[in-house]
Amino acid sequence: MTRLILTAPQVFDGTEMRPDHAVVIEAGEIAALLPITQAPDGPRQTLSGTLAPGLIDLQVNGGAGIMLDGTATVQSIATICAAHARLGATGILPTLITDTPAATTAVIAAGIAAAKAKTPGFLGLHLEGPHLDPKRQGAHDPALIRPMTDADLAELCAAAAQLPALMLTLAPASVTLAQITKLTQAGAIISLGHTESTYDQATAATKAGAACVTHLFNAMSQLGNREPGLVGAVLSGSLHAGLIADGLHVHPATLRTALAARPDGLFLVSDAMAVAGTDLTAFTLGSRKILRQKGRLLLSDGTLAGADLSLPQAIAFLITQLGQSPTRAIAMATRIPARLIGADAGAIRPGTAADLVHFDANWGLNTVWQNGNRL
């Protein structure tokens, strides 16, 4: 049996930091996590810095030069997954931005096929639209935003039964509470986003089954003195929420406010686009050109269109710029998102896949392992 032993001064197991521990890998799985002094014999690699579980990204629109769209195949999904694995996210939800009904059907079919093929890193799909509020379109094409029909509902319920996980970003303006309940009962994870939702509407959607909010603060109703909006529903309630922690999408002071208000339930997303893992300076979203400029992805009118960000960069931002503990920052990209979608990932424990990331002393990404293989 092939064995590899990784030792580090800090090993984050998904919940707590364990000093001077060893991770034993056998046949692509975690065989043991134990103090270095108790490690068995075998090939050993001594690391500095911190060893952690492979990162989990629930909002990945593209990578390696391609977007998830109506041309999706098992191979294109595998290409996106592989690009993000090299960036530290060994488990992702490839995400379809608002598109045509035909594109949605094609992506669902490709996702189901990718799951059957056991594509490395594929944890399911995230459909961000088209059932959004055109008043909060963001970079989505308003011509494609539409209310959910009975046919849409039936297709999505069937997809939820066949995919490892299905996250749906919806706006209360385009769906009914009954539809949210049916989708939740079918196994979908409902995330509220791109919406002018009031606090009361968000509360009602939560009671109907909504569990999450997409890129908190961006493309949604804000916290007000008399109308708390969707942001207020998150900060004062139980909804999970994704954060784009690049200092551009959300001001650092606003991020600190959210982190203080919600000690658990917030998680990191990259909202990555086709340029992830490449040196491309532009790409096409639908028929619109997106420019990559100084860490931003922009439409011609200056609207942010996704993020030029990786999860390790977001973790480093939380630790070095916002003063968050490494334990919390890494949990926001491992245990918390994995738990939300019910994935057996985001932790270092015996019997799970040996998906690991190694950070240096400055929280830069050093090495990635997926299924025990160094990438």
Q: What are phi and psi of 18, to 5 degrees?
A: -110, 115
Structural domains of the chain sorted by starting position, each given as residue range(s) with its CATH number in brackets:
3-52+350-374 (2.30.40.10), 55-341 (3.20.20.140)
CA pair distance 235, 340, nearest whole angstrom: 17
**Residue in this structure with the two tokens 């001001």, named with its chain if needed:** 251
Q: pLDDT per residue over 267-321, tens digit each?
A: 999 999 999 999 999 998 877 889 999 889 998 888 888 899 999 999 999 999 9
**What was the pLDDT predicted at 139?**
84
**What was the pLDDT predicted at 1?**
58
Cα distances (angstroms) measured from residue 280 to each of 15, 152, 293, 297: 36, 35, 11, 11
Residue in 133, 271, 308, 355 annotated catalytic: 271
Active site annotation includes 133: no
**What was the pLDDT predicted at 304?**
86
Regions of the chain with pLDDT less than 50: none
In 3D, which of 56, 63, 123, 100 has the Cα closest to residue 312? 56
